[in-house]
A and B are shown apart, each in its own frame.
Chain A
Amino acid sequence: MLRLTFRISVGMAFLFPLSMGACTGSIGGDIPDGISDDVPVDDPTTPIDESKVDNPPSAGGPCRIAVPLRRLTELQYRNAVRDVFKQQVALPSDFAIPTLGSPASGFSTDPEYNAVDLGVARRLHDSATSLPLAVVDKLPGLLPCASSPNDTCASTFIDTYGRKAYRRPLTAPEKATLTKAFKLGTGADAFKDGIAAVVAVMLDSPQFLYQTEIGEADDSGAAKLGGYEIASRLSLLLWDSVPDDALLEAAGSGVLDAPKGIRTQVDRMLADPKARDTVVRFAREWIHLPRPAVGQRTDKAYTEALATAIQGEFDRFIGDAFLNDNAPLETFLSSPEPYKNATLDAFIKANGGYNGRSGLLTQPAVLTGLAGASDTSPIRRAVFVRTKVTCEEFPAPPADANAVDSELPLPANATQQDRAAARSKDSRCAGCHSLIDPLGFGFESFDELGRFRQTSKDGSRIDPTGDFVEPVDKNLAGKFSSLPELGKRLSGSPAVAECLGRQYFRFNYGRMDGDADACSIHGIADRFKDSGLGLRDLIVSVTTADEFRFRSGQ
């Protein structure tokens, strides 16, 4: 029996059978030839275990979250190296760590993405044995006592930079290991060679490469994280880097053991420019937003300058909304605000103007990223709303979607609407596309470069009406006549607020959420709502949650 299952909320799933042509990601039969790469879908659909519905496992007890051991991502590694050694050394610009797998969470912090095979180990070791040479060159600035090199000075180096790299003071065995590394330096350049060996071992070691969270066992079977572990969690979450001195001092003083102390640091950290880059990374990975190269859009107006302006405006929009403005969800999803990037502003004004703009939904980066090479993609835009904004678990497109698509009876020079009409009449397509297409066509007033328009490529007049068919939250259902109307409707939905919190949860913990995480997801959503749905408050509500200071066993 095929059924459409939407997870509206962890531990509280709505299952609704569709009368005909259910959306299951398969067309039936075993034909599958052809492809379906025009619809990016990141979330695999897992059937809901009905025994768990309405019965979240952690109900009653304290909320505790399982957190996998996470390795620094390529970006975090790069930033960490920069910050450990006081901006004195940097990795070469072509440094890259190969990634393995494609995690369900979609976020680059997912350990599935950062497994280590021999190729990765080689790359890490190459880096760990070339960076020390740069560090040694900068020793006068990094280590004042290096002018009179001796064992005491080496010990100072190990304590100072070991603490920064490992994000905590070293244990006695760890200090002993690095001291042995120092002793490998012999001959005329013994001190420098010894320091180089210390840095090499440090950078190759799991204490640097992983977020090792051990904590102290509590009654619930979970571990209460120590101050340094919380500091490390915060800095990697908010900065994609290691803690600075102030954060390490706070960790050492014990103030991070309570949400209040965390709050103080979070406020400070979110005001730092490093936080902007990270929140932009969150948004890009959340939406799964590609940056189309100039050649990937056939319209000649899509120049390098415009592409740069579009990306820059998106980054500005996200950074301001989440950090500067603490923008309410409604503003985020429906604001008519003009673009601050001058190049983009001029382009929009000269091409249809700001008609119908609606915050994130009409950000040119979104409209351009979720498009085809020479036309819009109503499908991608609708799947974005359903899977990313309302967190529906939408099935992957079936294996034979393209083959079936090529069989549809179409008039000559078929338009997107003709194709959609044909899909709606074919039982193999209609199950999913009846949910996708009417929503996607509501975006048609904006072309693949984000320009407002009233006629489509084929010359027909655009009907700006869209229809949100069978959404997770029934209050979202129905026709809308413009994107601001859709945006306002979305921003009033608890499902959307919860979805955004859920995405930040995945980003934070580096994994998909599951039924056992219901307490945390609900708590984040409740605090987000209580704060007035400000986006900066969302980040605060995640980091000041009780469970942020704990980690249940893996």
Chain B
Amino acid sequence: MHHKNIHRRTLIRGTAGAVLGLPWLELTAERALAQTGPKRLVIYFNGQGNLVNKWKPNVASGAALPANLPPMLTALNGYKSKLNLLHPVDNVVAQTMGGNGHNKAGRSILSCAGFVSGENSPSRGPSIDQYLKQKLNLKSLELKVNGDGVGEYQMLFSEPGKSVSGEANPQRVFDRFFKSLPASGGGAAPPAPVVTAADRLRLKNKDLLSLTLENFNTVRGTLGKEDRDRLDAHAQRVRDLEKELGATTLSPPTQVGGATKCSAPGAMSGANGIQVYKSQAMNAAMAMACNFAQVVTIQDTSYGSLRWLGLGGKAGSDWHGAVHERNPMPELEKGFAWYATAFKEVLDAMNAVTEGNGTMLDNSLVMWITEYGDGASHNTRGIPVLLAGGLGGALKTDRFLSFAPGTSSTNRLFVTIMKLFGLPDNSFGEGPLNSGTLPGLA
């Protein structure tokens, strides 16, 4: 399948003089960067907090992590040397916002900013992933797991009031980035190439989008200001697509950033449960290996169900309600411990990509965050945060850090991250603890 595609592409180049798709073009443009090892930020989110007492290691702040991580993190024992565990981190801004407890926690968790207007409106600040991307001129990939609708957990914003959507279907991500790349692991000789009508249409993308923009121009002249702004925002996204899809030159993929080839990840699965987490993790790691993205978010969109685990009692029928009621506890422990299993897929996929003397994980920063500390009271204070990877040695690992009351905020966590990525910013978002860094982290 993949071999067929690459062969076909060669043919298209030969006959039509034009080529398919974004990936290879961008690859060439960014190869130089790749070989020096770009810093990447991955943010992994799941809802409903955690069982903090079973998440927090019983060691002093600054001490090394125990060989056996606490029960909620057992799945990550093998990664102990690459982790930082932080607690408590407070989302201070959410404490000042009224309205639905999920809305406010979701909107502010990555933006540290309040609502634009009512409790159903977007955040009035950019989220840290989008901000970092813009400031460092990086590319981002927004992935979702556990369903397409973000509902109350709209949390990614490119600018005040502008939310950013993501892709929940791993196959679509695969098709966008990897369809034309060779599969990893070799295979049989490619079958004879076939150029389909679909290929021929896709080859015209640049022209199609340019004609589409002609139509946008026809319409916009007739509109009032507010409508025109709305339409112009859409037209701008079409221009972005034109840039993304309209490549007209081709360079073959080469090795990127060391030993692992930029290649298509394995088979995708859209089924529920661990398979979809695994598929998105592979997409994320390979998109970064190919340098299609340097900032990746993976959002678990549902806090209502972990149905594939077959949990008992209320935890099986109403996960959110069971978390509220702290009952039944053994089933809640299974569910929260499973989140570490799901998160491990991300670490596994990144750790499998070799770069220089280490792995992609060693050269990146992977933040696992949730919107609450204690899930039962939906408290936005005392959030447990896990950082994996050392940014190529810039960040010490194998540590537990705790913080004195009133010194730790999500703002400060994000300022610290920005500094690790070389940004000069001293503050982020709103609230009383919006400036300064998280003590002792970097």
Binding site for B on A (CB under 8 A): 25-26, 30, 32-37, 40-42, 44, 68-69, 71, 94, 96, 98-104, 111, 115-122, 125-126, 128-130, 132-133, 136, 171, 173-174, 177-178, 180-181, 184, 189, 192-193, 196-197, 200-201, 204-207, 209-210, 212, 214, 295-298, 372-374, 396-399, 402-403, 406, 553-554
Quick check: B305 and A295 within 8 Å, CB to CB?
A: yes
Quick check: B204 and A184 within 8 Å, CB to CB?
A: yes
Quick check: A129 and B102 within 8 Å, CB to CB?
A: no
Binding site for A on B (CB under 8 A): 95-102, 104, 117-122, 142, 148-149, 152, 154, 158, 162-167, 169, 172, 176, 197-198, 200-202, 204-205, 207-209, 211-212, 214-216, 218-220, 222-227, 230-231, 233-234, 237-238, 240-241, 245, 304-305, 307, 314, 316-318, 321, 377-381
Quick check: B224 and A197 within 8 Å, CB to CB?
A: no
Q: Which residue of B lies closest to A97 (CB)?
A: B165
Distance A275 CA – B314 CA, assembled complex (angstroms)? 40
* Complex interface: chain A residues within 8 A of B218 (CB): 171, 173-174, 177, 207
Given A33-B95, A102-B120, A197 contacting B204 (CB threshold 8 A): yes
Nearest 10 CB-CB pairings of A with B:
A35-B101, A44-B118, A98-B165, A35-B378, A119-B165, A121-B237, A69-B227, A102-B120, A205-B215, A554-B224
Distance A181 CA – B379 CA, assembled complex (angstroms)? 56
Distance A125 CA – B22 CA, assembled complex (angstroms)? 15
* Complex interface: chain B residues within 8 A of A71 (CB): 234
* Complex interface: chain B residues within 8 A of A68 (CB): 226-227, 230
Quick check: B237 and A189 within 8 Å, CB to CB?
A: no
Q: Which residue of A lies closest to B220 (CB)?
A: A206
Q: Which residue of B lies closest to A96 (CB)?
A: B148
Quick check: A201 and B237 within 8 Å, CB to CB?
A: no
Quick check: A398 and B98 within 8 Å, CB to CB?
A: yes
Distance A196 CA – B207 CA, assembled complex (angstroms)? 13
Distance A111 CA – B234 CA, assembled complex (angstroms)? 12
A129-B201, A193-B201 known; 10 other A-B pairs, CB under 8 Å? A44-B117, A104-B120, A118-B240, A119-B142, A125-B209, A128-B208, A133-B201, A181-B208, A296-B317, A554-B227
* Complex interface: chain A residues within 8 A of B202 (CB): 129
Picked from A25, A104, A129, the residue with its CB within 8 Å of the CB of B98 is A25
Distance A173 CA – B214 CA, assembled complex (angstroms)? 9
Quick check: B120 and A44 within 8 Å, CB to CB?
A: yes
Quick check: B165 and A117 within 8 Å, CB to CB?
A: yes
Given A117-B237, A125-B241, A206-B215, A397 contacting B378 (CB threshold 8 A): no
Distance A378 CA – B231 CA, assembled complex (angstroms)? 43
Distance A121 CA – B209 CA, assembled complex (angstroms)? 11
Distance A535 CA – B233 CA, assembled complex (angstroms)? 39
Picked from B100, B163, B227, the residue with its CB within 8 Å of the CB of A36 is B100
Distance A26 CA – B98 CA, assembled complex (angstroms)? 7
Quick check: B197 and A403 within 8 Å, CB to CB?
A: no
How far is the CB of A95 from the nearest CB of chain B, in Å?
Answer: 11
Q: Which residue of A lies closest to B204 (CB)?
A: A184
Quick check: A115 and B233 within 8 Å, CB to CB?
A: yes
Quick check: B237 and A132 within 8 Å, CB to CB?
A: no
Picked from A115, A122, A132, A396, the residue with its CB within 8 Å of the CB of B241 is A122
Quick check: B99 and A397 within 8 Å, CB to CB?
A: yes
Distance A196 CA – B208 CA, assembled complex (angstroms)? 10
* Complex interface: chain A residues within 8 A of B163 (CB): 100-101, 115, 117
Given A32-B98, A69-B223, A121-B241, A192 contacting B197 (CB threshold 8 A): yes
* Complex interface: chain A residues within 8 A of B122 (CB): 100-101
* Complex interface: chain A residues within 8 A of B154 (CB): 100-102
| Interface SS majority for chain A | loop
Quick check: B204 and A119 within 8 Å, CB to CB?
A: no
* Complex interface: chain A residues within 8 A of B99 (CB): 25, 36, 396-397, 399
* Complex interface: chain B residues within 8 A of A116 (CB): 233-234, 237
Quick check: B211 and A103 within 8 Å, CB to CB?
A: no
Picked from A117, A171, A181, A212, the residue with its CB within 8 Å of the CB of B158 is A117
How far is the CB of B106 from the nearest CB of chain A, in Å?
Answer: 11
Given A36-B100, A174-B218, A298-B318, A101 contacting B230 (CB threshold 8 A): no
How far is the CB of B89 from the nearest CB of chain A, in Å?
Answer: 15
How far is the CB of A55 from the nearest CB of chain B, in Å?
Answer: 25
* Complex interface: chain B residues within 8 A of A111 (CB): 230
* Complex interface: chain A residues within 8 A of B214 (CB): 177
Quick check: B100 and A35 within 8 Å, CB to CB?
A: yes
List, sorted by A's number, 20 A–B pairs whose CB atoms are closer than 8 Å: A30-B95, A34-B378, A36-B101, A37-B100, A44-B117, A68-B230, A100-B122, A101-B120, A115-B162, A118-B240, A129-B201, A178-B211, A181-B211, A189-B197, A204-B212, A206-B219, A373-B314, A402-B378, A554-B225, A554-B226
How far is the CB of A462 from the nearest CB of chain B, in Å?
Answer: 23
Given A68-B227, A196-B201, A206-B215, A44 contacting B95 (CB threshold 8 A): no
* Complex interface: chain B residues within 8 A of A136 (CB): 197
Picked from A174, A193, A298, the residue with its CB within 8 Å of the CB of B314 is A298
Distance A297 CA – B223 CA, assembled complex (angstroms)? 48
* Complex interface: chain B residues within 8 A of A121 (CB): 234, 237-238, 240-241
Quick check: B211 and A180 within 8 Å, CB to CB?
A: yes
* Complex interface: chain B residues within 8 A of A119 (CB): 142, 164-167
How far is the CB of A395 from the nearest CB of chain B, in Å?
Answer: 9
How far is the CB of A136 from the nearest CB of chain B, in Å?
Answer: 7
* Complex interface: chain B residues within 8 A of A33 (CB): 95, 377-381
How far is the CB of A401 from the nearest CB of chain B, in Å?
Answer: 8
* Complex interface: chain A residues within 8 A of B148 (CB): 96, 98
Quick check: B204 and A295 within 8 Å, CB to CB?
A: no
Quick check: B223 and A212 within 8 Å, CB to CB?
A: yes
Distance A173 CA – B217 CA, assembled complex (angstroms)? 11
Picked from B101, B117, B208, B238, the residue with its CB within 8 Å of the CB of A37 is B101
* Complex interface: chain B residues within 8 A of A201 (CB): 208, 211-212, 215
Given A94-B169, A100-B163, A192-B197, A206 contacting B216 (CB threshold 8 A): yes
Picked from A117, A180, A209, the residue with its CB within 8 Å of the CB of B162 is A117
Distance A295 CA – B322 CA, assembled complex (angstroms)? 13
* Complex interface: chain B residues within 8 A of A69 (CB): 223, 226-227, 230-231
Q: Which residue of B lies closest to A121 (CB)?
A: B237
* Complex interface: chain B residues within 8 A of A96 (CB): 148
Distance A68 CA – B231 CA, assembled complex (angstroms)? 11
Picked from A26, A120, A402, the residue with its CB within 8 Å of the CB of B237 is A120
Quick check: A296 and B120 within 8 Å, CB to CB?
A: no
Given A184-B204, A197-B208, A206-B234, A100 contacting B165 (CB threshold 8 A): yes
